[in-house]
């Protein structure tokens, strides 16, 4: 029997009533006037509830009167508050855009729904819609948290019943490996080759910003907001206290230190410049770019080409870089260099990893300005190259060469070297994991087995065995070689003049024997 294919129900036009209709599990849902915004909203809401729960959505009877307070009104009130609250130095922060994106999904699915009717299942339906949009798991959990924050603000201002917010608190975040949402890629430090390949394709301002950020380990927002008045040059190591930084609302102070190399880069940008002017200006970078183009010009400059600048251009370079313009400049340089794009925040991860490798995790925490050591561990990647170097210097016994000598000499003495070779190869994995000690002792054997162990004299210097023979076995032969126990601490049957000896082999040596 063939399995039915899964398809998303679509809206159809019910012509007798001129309504939009969707059928889910042989049940019709009428959404309102066909083509209206309300019908589209109800369709997205019903579809999201069905995809998140797998059950037929409930359709409570709607009152003819308008809801006392709809989610649309809550979103509008909260947005007015957020625009005034999430600002820094008169400019909106990035949190405003994140809140707007979160509330947009909520409004598209439940904008006309009454606030008191919004519960955990409907919030899970909104979260499922975010999963279908292709957002990563961490970002979805943060956006759901912003929606809950909106309802908490509504409770504070007596716009939302407290039990509604308490119900939304019961929803746990998406767990890694237990949901369909994709995982975000970790932010990794940059290789030196990637940075050096980008620098020739940037302006001198962006080039110095990259170098300065690598040396100081600061954030992109801190490097673009650098002013001469913010730098204290009284001491040997300069101190830079940004006028605004990421964690200032927590009451924390941020101090960035500039050493000799960073001072050499920054000196030309601090002198001959107003104290309140930005150190790095896109207008200066554009002016230098035009001068370089004029120098590379091969044809004669015509009178009309001397100055083609517009008096009031629609877009003109700003006085200072922003984080976005700084990132776009790096992306353009990466495209010219034909390498993968990278963002300036990865320079901070690069510096954190170097500091952790050279001076330890606590030094990296101090320079990066983290209050918690766990935050520094996120930025500073573990130096796996050091681990590889340590493991490469561990002395590994040359057992394979030893066993090859054993097979060669064993064949001459009639020991069945081919069969022994099969057992040797099967035991190599166990040999690498069990050999751990080294005493440099030579081979020792009993009087009856000394003549049988002359073959071990050609063993490498880094290998030695301690062999102790057991009682000779008369009229007993192993049926097949698989019957012979051949782990590292096992036994092997040796034939000498038609007599069998069980000889226990115990590898004990890793260092060269004296």
Domain spans in the chain, listed from the N-terminal domain onward: 12-53, 71-168, 192-295+318-384, 399-507
- Tell me the chain's radius of gyration from C-alpha atoms: 37
- Rounded to an integer, the average pLDDT of 497-504 is 40
> What integer is the mean pLDDT of 233-248?
83
Lowest-confidence pick of 47-61, 314-328, 366-380 = 366-380
For residue 24, give Cα distances in angstroms to 10, 19, 46, 60, 426: 9, 16, 9, 16, 60
Give mean pLDDT, residues 242-265: 81
Q: CA nearest 126: which of 199, 200, 49, 205?
A: 49
Please check the confidence at residue 478 and state whether its pLDDT lies above 80.
no
- Provide the pairing of β-strand 19-24 with 12-14: antiparallel
**What CATH number labels 71-168?**
1.10.150
Strands 499-507 and 465-473: antiparallel
**Mean pLDDT, to the nearest integer, of 145-155?**
94
Predicted local distance difference test score (pLDDT) of residue 378:
53
Residues 302 and 290: their CA atoms lie apart, in Å, by: 16
Tokens at 212, concatenated: 């300065």
Token pair, residue 49, equals 């509830």
Cβ atoms of 199 and 210 within 8 Å: the answer is yes
Phi, psi of 493 (to 5 degrees): -90, 125
pLDDT above 60: residue 2: no
pLDDT mean over 208-237: 88
**Residue 340 DSSP class:** -
* The pLDDT of residue 210: 92
SS (H, E, C) 392-450: HCCCCCCHHHHHHHHHHHHHHCCCCHHHHHHHHHHCHHHHHHHCCCCCCCCCCCCCCCC
Greatest mean pLDDT range, 112-121, 412-421, 443-452: 112-121
| The pLDDT of residue 356 | 74
Average pLDDT on 251-273 reads: 85
Contact between 346 and 187 (Cβ < 8 Å):
yes
> What pLDDT is stored for residue 243 in this prediction?
80
Write out pLDDT tens, residues 58-73.
Answer: 554 343 333 458 899 8
Q: Which residue has the higher pLDDT, 448 or 78?
A: 78
Structure confidence at residue 68 (pLDDT): 58
pLDDT score recorded for residue 332? 92
pLDDT at site 363: 64
Report d(CA 351, CA 349) in Å as an integer.
5
Arithmetic mean of pLDDT over the chain: 72
CATH number listed for the domain at residues 192-295+318-384: 1.10.443.10
The first and second tokens of residue 81, run together, are 């508050």
SS (H, E, C) 202-251: CCHHHHHHHHHHHHHCCCHHHHHCCCHHHEECCCCCEEECCCCCCCHHHC
Locate tokens 């679509």: which residue? 10
Q: What is the pLDDT of residues 175-217, one digit of tens each?
A: 988 888 888 887 788 888 999 999 999 998 999 999 998 888 8
pLDDT bracket for residue 495 (50, 70, 90): very low
| Mean pLDDT of the region 349-368 | 72
The span from the CA of 381 to the CA of 372, in Å, is 16
CA 296 to CA 299: how far, in whole Å?
Answer: 9
What confidence category does residue 90 fall into, taking pLDDT thresholds of 50, 70 and 90?
confident
Lowest mean pLDDT among 58-67, 258-267, 282-291, 483-492: 483-492
Which position has the higher pLDDT, 295 or 276? 276
User: What is the model's pLDDT at position 364?
Assistant: 67
pLDDT band at 377 (very low <50, low <70, confident <90, very high): low
Per-residue confidence (pLDDT) for residue 339, from 0 to 100: 92
* 149, 153, 494 from 156: Cα distances, Å: 11, 5, 87
Please, which contacts does 159-165 make with residues 24 or more away whose CB atoms are closer than 8 Å? 159/69, 159/74, 159/77, 159/115, 160/74, 160/115, 160/116, 161/115, 161/116, 164/115, 164/116, 164/118, 164/119
The larger pLDDT score, comparing residue 388 to residue 253, is at 253
Residue ranges of E strands in 70-122: 87-88, 91-92
- Return the structure tokens found at 259: 């050493």
Which of 142, 148, 145 lies closest to 119, judged by CA?
148
Return the number of other C-beta atoms located less than 10 Å from residue 183's C-beta.
11
pLDDT exceeding 70 applies to what percent of the chain? 62
* Other C-beta atoms lying within 10 Å of the C-beta of residue 421: 16
- Name which of 165, 81, 150 is nearest 119 in CA terms: 165
Q: What is the pLDDT of residue 505?
A: 42
Least confident of 105-114, 301-310, 466-475: 466-475
What per-residue confidence (pLDDT) applies to 56?
65
Predicted local confidence at residue 445, as pLDDT: 36
- Residues in CB range of 444: below 8 A, 6 or more apart: 466, 467, 468
Instruction: Tell me what percent of the chain is helix, strand and coil, each rounded to the nearest 5.
Output: 50, 10, 40
Instruction: State the Cα–Cα distance between residues 512 and 311, nearest whole angstrom.
Output: 83
Q: Across 144-148, 180-184, 284-288, which has the greatest mean pLDDT?
A: 144-148
Q: pLDDT band at 15, cuts 50/70/90?
A: confident
pLDDT at 57: 66
> What is the pLDDT confidence band of residue 151, given thresholds at 50, 70 and 90?
very high
């Amino acid at each position: 029997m063939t399995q039915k294919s899964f398809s998303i129900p679509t809206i159809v036009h019910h012509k007798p009533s001129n309504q939009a209709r969707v059928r889910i599990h042989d049940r019709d849902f009428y959404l309102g006037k066909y083509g209206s915004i309300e019908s589209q909203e109800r369709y997205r809401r019903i579809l999201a509830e069905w995809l998140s729960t797998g059950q037929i959505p409930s359709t409570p009877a709607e009152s003819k009167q308008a809801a006392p307070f709809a989610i649309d009104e809550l979103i509008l009130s909260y947005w007015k508050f957020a625009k005034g609250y999430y600002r820094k130095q008169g400019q909106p922060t990035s949190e405003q855009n994140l809140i707007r994106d979160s509330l947009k999904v909520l409004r598209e699915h439940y904008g006309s729904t009454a606030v008191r009717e919004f519960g955990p299942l409907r919030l899970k339906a909104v979260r499922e819609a975010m999963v279908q949009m292709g957002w990563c798991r961490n970002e979805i959990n943060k956006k759901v948290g912003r929606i809950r924050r909106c309802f908490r603000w509504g409770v504070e201002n007596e716009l939302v019943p407290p039990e509604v917010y308490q119900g939304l608190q019961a929803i746990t975040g998406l767990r890694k490996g237990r949901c369909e949402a994709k995982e975000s890629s970790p932010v990794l430090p940059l290789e030196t080759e990637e940075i050096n390949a980008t620098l020739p394709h940037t302006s001198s301002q962006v080039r110095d910003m990259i170098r300065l950020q690598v040396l100081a380990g600061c954030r992109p927002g801190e490097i673009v907001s650098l002013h001469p008045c913010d730098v204290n040059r009284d001491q040997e190591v300069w101190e830079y206290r940004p006028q605004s930084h990421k964690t200032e609302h927590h009451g924390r102070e941020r101090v960035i230190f500039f050493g000799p190399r960073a001072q050499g880069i920054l000196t030309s940008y601090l002198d001959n410049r107003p104290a309140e002017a930005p150190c790095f200006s896109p207008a200066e970078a554009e002016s230098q770019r035009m001068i370089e183009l004029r120098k590379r010009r091969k044809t004669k400059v015509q009178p009309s080409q001397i100055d083609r600048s517009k008096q009031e251009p629609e877009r003109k370079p700003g006085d200072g870089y922003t984080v976005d313009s700084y990132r776009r400049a790096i992306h353009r340089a990466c495209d010219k260099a034909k390498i993968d794009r990278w963002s300036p925040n990865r320079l901070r991860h690069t510096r954190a990893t170097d500091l952790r490798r050279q001076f330890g995790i606590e030094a990296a925490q101090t320079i990066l300005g983290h209050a918690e050591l766990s935050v520094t561990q996120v930025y500073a990647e573990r130096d796996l190259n050091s681990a590889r170097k340590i493991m490469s210097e561990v002395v590994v016994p040359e057992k394979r060469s030893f066993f090859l000598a054993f097979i060669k000499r064993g064949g001459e003495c009639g020991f069945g070297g081919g069969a022994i070779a099969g057992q040797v190869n099967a035991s190599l994995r166990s040999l690498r994991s069990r050999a751990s000690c080294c005493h440099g002792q030579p081979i020792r054997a009993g009087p009856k087995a000394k003549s049988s162990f002359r073959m071990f004299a050609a063993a490498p210097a880094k290998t030695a065995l301690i062999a102790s023979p057991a009682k000779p076995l008369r009229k007993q032969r192993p049926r097949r070689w698989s019957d012979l126990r051949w782990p590292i601490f096992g036994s092997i049957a040796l034939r000498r003049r038609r007599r069998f000896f069980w000889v226990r082999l115990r590898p004990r040596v890793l260092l060269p024997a004296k």
